[in-house]
Amino acid sequence: MAWVDRQTIGQLKSMVDSSYELTLLLTLMLASSPPGELSPSQIDDVTDLAYEILKIQKEMREILVAAG
């Protein structure tokens, strides 16, 4: 297993925390919306959150691949 420096670990921790918080927010948004009741604006918000989560996860994956 490759050695990962403290800065990289700190960066990954921050990214995991952000990803978790965004996932929680996305889950709460979806859970609190009645079926079929999302407005176009709410759908845009959900899509934006999901995209932000994917960007963070992609960056984490790139960091881990580079460290490995």
Number of alpha carbons in the 13 Å side-chain half-sphere of residue 62:
8
Give residue for tokens 């919306």.
33
State the pTM of this model: 0.76
Residue 18 to residue 54: CA distance in whole angstroms = 11
Residue with tokens 């990289």: 8
**Structural contact between residues 64 and 1, judged by C-beta atoms closer than 8 angstroms:** no
Chain centroid to CA 42 = 18
Q: 């921050």: which residue's tokens?
A: 14
Domain ranges of the chain: 6-67
Local confidence pLDDT in tens for the 68 residues of the chain: 567 788 888 899 999 999 999 999 999 988 888 888 888 898 898 899 999 999 999 998 888 888 76
